[in-house]
Structures are given as C-alpha cells and as structure tokens.
Amino acid sequence: MKKLIVISGLLLLPTLALAQEAEVRLDSAPVRNEPVQLQSGARTFVNYCLSCHGAQSMRFNRLRDLGLSEQEIQANLIFTGAKVGDTMKVAMNAKEGKQFFGVAPPDLSVIARARGADWLYTYLRTFYRDPSRPTGWNNIVFPNVGMPHVLYTLQGEQVIKQAKPIARPEAAKEEAAEEKGEHSPQKLVFEITKPGSMTPIEYDIAVADLVGFLVYMGEPAAAERHTVGYFVLFALFILSLVFFALKQQFWKDVH
C-alpha cells in the first residue's frame, strides 16, 4: 500500500509542477523568422549560453542558412578550437556542471520545442536577486532554479517590488476558483536596483532574438519546409483544376 502511494505521488509530480507554472502569466514572445533577428540571437547564444549549455544537434555551419559565410562564422561565433563543421559542444562536462550548479546544465538543441517560446521569453526576463539562493538569483517562472542570471550584465539587477492579482474576466470563475482553493495568477512588478548595459526595451529585444534563435535551432528546416509546403499546395490546386477539366470532358456526353 505504501509503495502504491509513493508511486501515485511520483506520477502526480509533473502535474503539480505544471499547475505551479500555470500561475505565472507568460508573455508572448515576439519571435520572427528573419535573418537579422536570428543572427543577433546566435551571437547572444554563443557569447552567454554556450559556455555552460551545449547544442549537440546543431552544427556551426548550419548558420549559413542565416546568411553568414563560413569565414564570418569562424571569426565571430567560434571562440574555441572548434571547426565550422563541428557541433556546438560545451567544454564543461556533466559531472562538473552538477558540481557547480547542483544539476548538469541541459542541452539546448530542442529546448524551445520542449518549453515553448513564450516560456523561454518570460523566463529569461524574470530573474531577480534572492540572497537565500546559492547563486544569489531566483526566477519567477522556474522557482529555485540552479542557473544564475547569465544575462544580468545586460539587464541589470532587479528585485520583486510588488505582486498584483490578475483580474479574471468573469466573477463566476473567480468564485469557483476560490471554492476549489485556487488563487488568481499574480502579475509581478520588478524594480531595477542596478542598471545593466541595456535599457529594458533593448534587453527585451535581445531576449526575443535569443529565443528566436533557440526556436530556429530546434527545427532549422522549418522555414524551408513551409516554403516547400506553399509550392506543394499551389501545385495541388493547379492539378485539381486540370482534373476537374478532364472530368468535365470525359462526362460531357453522359446524360
């Protein structure tokens, strides 16, 4: 019986985690599949993320799809002895990562497909100072996260100033939620205590660019596949007209 209770509790943990994250309202990520945004995001990724997180399903030379030459990739986006044809590996191994952060930093090849662009966009903008944490940082979207705020030199340091409940559109839903013991989602207001090198608007743009690159990295052929899909739909439309004309010709003498 005890084993059954333990197993049931373990099965419910993902559900409880999702319920906790659902209390945070995610901001919509302004991601555009444009070369300029993706190039900017790639630059931020290799400068701030690739030191701890790898992307072993992504090769540097795939960045040619973003309009970069191999010479530009080698000169501006590779800071180790890696070659353009190598995958985006990280020097730190899993054992070292666990020792430094308590858990090994995950590979980011498909993080956007696993988490979603809105989650990543909100996550990277909601780090705040928390002296109780080993790294001195905490996060609203991912409470008690082991990762420090690696972009703090850009954003600056912020603290939670206040939290306001988000009004629900219908009072009935509010009452029903209270009866179930649920709480309204909180809209958190932050206060910058130490400015970074970017303004808040500039930082939001930089994060959007980074998230855009993470989305691209999760499926680099997505844009090409969409383009091919349009051509296929157009070809099918033309063929349907041809088949309809043939049908009219074959059945014209049938009454």
**pLDDT at residue 161 in the model:** 82
Residue 19 lies in a domain: no
Residue 202, both tokens: 């500039």
**pLDDT at residue 94 in the model:** 76
Cα angle value 66/122/185 (rounded, 5°): 155
Closest CA to 211 of 20, 25, 22, 27: 27
Residue 1 lies in a domain: no
Pairing of strands 127-129, 137-139: antiparallel
Residue 106 lies in a domain: yes
Closest CA to 76 of 152, 219, 67: 67
Residue 69 lies in a domain: yes
Instruction: Give me the residues of the chain with pLDDT under 70, please.
Output: 1-23, 162-187, 222-226, 255
CATH no. for residue 172? Answer: 1.10.760.10
* Structural domains in the chain (count): 1
| Full-model pTM | 0.73
Residue 192 lies in a domain: yes
**pLDDT at residue 98 in the model:** 80
Pairing of strands 186-195, 156-165: antiparallel
Domain extent, residue 236, equals 24-241
Helix ranges, 219-255 (H):
222-250
Residue 7 lies in a domain: no
Burial of residue 243, with CB atoms counted within 10 A of its CB: 0-12 exposed, 13-18 middle, 19 or more buried: exposed
CA 209 – CA 163 distance, rounded (Å): 28
Taking the C-alpha atoms of 104, 109, 112 and 113 in order, what is their torsion angle to the nearest 10 degrees? -110
Residue 248 lies in a domain: no
CB count within 10 Å of CB 1 equals: 5
Residue 87 lies in a domain: yes
**pLDDT at residue 163 in the model:** 57
Amino acid at 72: E
